[in-house]
Amino acid sequence: MFAADEASRNLGIELLEHGEGTAVLRMTVTPRYDGDSSMVNGHGIAHGGYLFLLADTAFACACNSHGPVTAAAGADIAFVAPAHVGDVLVASAEERTRFGRSGIYDVTLRRGGAVIAEFRGRSRSIRAAAPENTDKCETAHSTTGSTTKESR
């Protein structure tokens, strides 16, 4: 899944670790460049949407680690502290529980040892199995906030 996730990879997000129900990803907050996008908002701090995207990507890798293609059924984030240009952020996702086709995952975003955000995602499996001969984390993609007929 991560290999096909151009949005995350184009932002420089790196998959550091993944396992059953877990994932660890890293991203550096980038400054403004002429003509290029920036992760900084009008207050000069990292835009919350980029922090959400990092957490959601870690969540997607963790919830897709079991094999069935799994999408987000919903997610919430609490911003605890700001991130700034040059900050290296690490998102650690951990499965809390799975029941039927659903799951709950927590993701902590850190800058060094400091927690800057807490994310909780709710997942729903939408297909029986991921394609064969590939790493599970690299075969499916989370679609945040979408509910489809197949995922109900």
Measured at the CA of 48, the angle between CA 72 and CA 82, to 5 degrees, comes to 130
The values of phi and psi at residue 57, to 5°, are -70, -40
Strand ranges of the sheet holding 102-111, from the earlier edge strand across to the other edge: 14-19, 22-28, 88-99, 102-111, 114-125, 70-79
**pLDDT at res. 136:** 47
pTM for the whole thing? 0.81
Per the listing, tokens 């029986």 go with 128
Alpha carbon distance 40, 4 (integer Å): 25
- Residue 10, φ and ψ in degrees, nearest 5: -70, -20
Residues in the chain with pLDDT values less than 70: 32-37, 127-152
